[in-house]
Amino acid sequence: MLIGRAHAGPWERDVELRHFFENMVRREETASAFLATLLDYDPAFRQAFLGLVLDDPGVEDHETWTVRVEEDRVDVTLESPNAYVLVEDKIGSGAKQHEQLLRYYGNAVEARPAKRIIAVYLAPRGIGMDEVDLVEHSALFIRRRSDVACYVPWERIAELIDRMPIGESRWFARSGIHEIERAIVRARQESYPALGDRALVRDLVDNALTLLASRRPDVRLGRWGGREFEEILTYKIPITLWLDAVFEVEAEPPFQPVGLVQPDGIHLTLRSMFKLAGKVKRTSDLAHRWAELVRGGSVDVPDVGLYVLQPNRWFARSVPAIGTSADLQFAVADTGERLLEFLRPFLSLSGDPH
């Protein structure tokens, strides 16, 4: 269905969207309607979103877009005379379906072979990146060349909303993204409750974040967790950094850790990854310098070790670690501090003072 345009009205400061998201069996449907309304109603937000997924901020100047919800089972679509953007959005990991984005991409190509197809997976950080990889490595995608497949975490949508100017739709945007963030937290807690040894790892990583933040107060840090990891991540800098404490889990919910605590200490894998952020323009000095790093295929970070370029364009390193909670939290914080210091020259190319 098409999303119609509406106006906020004089009561905008008193209105929240809490009731649209609470106690919803299908929170993804509400999130889809929220996103589609913003894309349809607010041209500035639509242009920012399209610039995010197309790396072409001027695309709005020469395109007219039609926004739909649940067209051919796709959560949100945007269509212009030359392009078709399909967005599959998720709130929690329980709704993820294997090869779903690939199916929708194939259907879109079949239905609109003359148009450029942009397949977007919008989800909480860490959920569904493999779905984008499946599209990018498909023979159909490789053959068509001009199509795009990209992963967008909800945090990036929140950043777009933070930058929105004061206007009639800002109350709607900020209230809606706040409720989506709350729904993501609830979904995570329902899927991976902090019970037993998982609580131990979650506390360990929380303490590592506090320690790293005290050393680098200039960098905004956040927290996330998935089925088999707890993570520290950076926000709002042009290079994305993840610091993960990874562990094995049981095969069934609630996916409790196994083999974590042993007589000689806590057994984890410490994984760290960094990548050029999607918001960086391809024509920038930072992008050109980063391309040189990528061509090398690996990089040796002083006092940390060798990081190898992965197929998904991340530089990654994983090492087993055994120790006390204090030992491991210092190891995570130390790695983060050294990586941020290594990345400092790249950040300076973007004008970022970090």
User: pLDDT-derived band of residue 6, with 50, 70 and 90 as boundaries?
Assistant: very low
In the chain, % of residues over pLDDT 90: 50
Is residue 68 domain-shared with residue 39, that is, in the same domain? Answer: yes
Is residue 206 domain-shared with residue 175, that is, in the same domain? Answer: no
Query: Which of residues 166, 184, 202 is at a domain's end?
Result: 184
> What per-residue confidence (pLDDT) applies to 351?
57
> What per-residue confidence (pLDDT) applies to 16?
57
Averaged pLDDT for residues 306-320: 92
pLDDT tens track for 134-151 = 999 899 999 998 899 999
In sequence order, the β-bridge partners of residue 78 are 67, 85
Is residue 44 domain-shared with residue 179, that is, in the same domain? Answer: yes
- The whole-model pTM stands at 0.62
C-alpha 192 chain-centroid distance? 19
| Residue 8 maps to a domain | no
| Residue 10 maps to a domain | no
Structural domain of residue 29, as residue ranges?
A: 16-184
> What per-residue confidence (pLDDT) applies to 28?
76
Mean pLDDT over each residue of the chain, to the nearest integer: 85
> What per-residue confidence (pLDDT) applies to 319?
97
Averaged pLDDT for residues 16-37: 71
| Residue 37 maps to a domain | yes
| Residue 211 maps to a domain | yes
Is residue 146 domain-shared with residue 204, that is, in the same domain? Answer: no
Is residue 153 domain-shared with residue 121, that is, in the same domain? Answer: yes
Averaged pLDDT for residues 185-193: 75
In the chain, % of residues over pLDDT 70: 86
